[in-house]
Amino acid sequence: MRLTKLIIPTALLALYAGAAFAKPVTYVCDPTHTHPSFSTDHFGGLSVWRGVFRKTSCTIVLDRKAKTGTVHVTVQTASDDFGESQLNKDARGAQILDVAKYPTATYVGRLADFKNGSPTRVLGTFTLHGVTRPLTLIIRHFECKEVVFFHQYRCGADAYAEFNRADYGISYGKAFGFKMWVRLHIQVEAVRQG
């Protein structure tokens, strides 16, 4: 009888602790370890331009037990960096990113297709140049762990997507044979809050 009295409260306590642990957790991206990079065609296959956005903020809410979560990313479009100052300036102009009119690009999505506790895709919408369209990110790698060096618990991911920039009203170069594809390669590390 005493054993039963002890087992029931212990089991209830374990269930309560499990439920508390399963709550969604918020992570905020570390801007020094989060870099959306991109590549795009130059002169119809002559070469490939590559660059990175230097200023990005994002929030991730993750519930691994429920296999759910959300992602919200904001990119400062004027932070583009091709590694060449004139090209950076040209890309920020009215014919391409038009950063004066559209200072940010955003991505909002939900984590999906969990395998072994980790999402493998993000189903969402991407807003660029004032146009919002569906865009799915494929997550190639996702991991969460305590990083002793920073004294923080972090989640990190490597993801990619491809889109047609003309769909977003950015068709500069098309008359010269430029192909319209853009490939995104996103590395991110986010720090658990609380």
Sign of the alpha-carbon torsion through 58, 59, 64, 68:
negative
Instruction: Return d(Cα 126, Cα 109) in angstroms, integer.
Output: 9
Go through the domains of the chain in sequence order and give each one's CATH number: 23-192 (2.40.128.110)
pLDDT tens for the chain, 194 residues: list them.
Answer: 554 454 444 444 444 444 445 699 999 999 999 989 999 999 999 999 999 999 999 999 999 999 999 999 999 999 999 999 999 999 999 999 999 999 999 999 999 999 999 999 999 999 999 999 999 999 999 999 999 999 999 999 999 999 999 999 999 999 999 999 999 999 999 999 98
- State both tokens at 31: 């801007």
Helix (H, G, I), strand (E, B) or coil at 18: helix
pTM of the model: 0.87
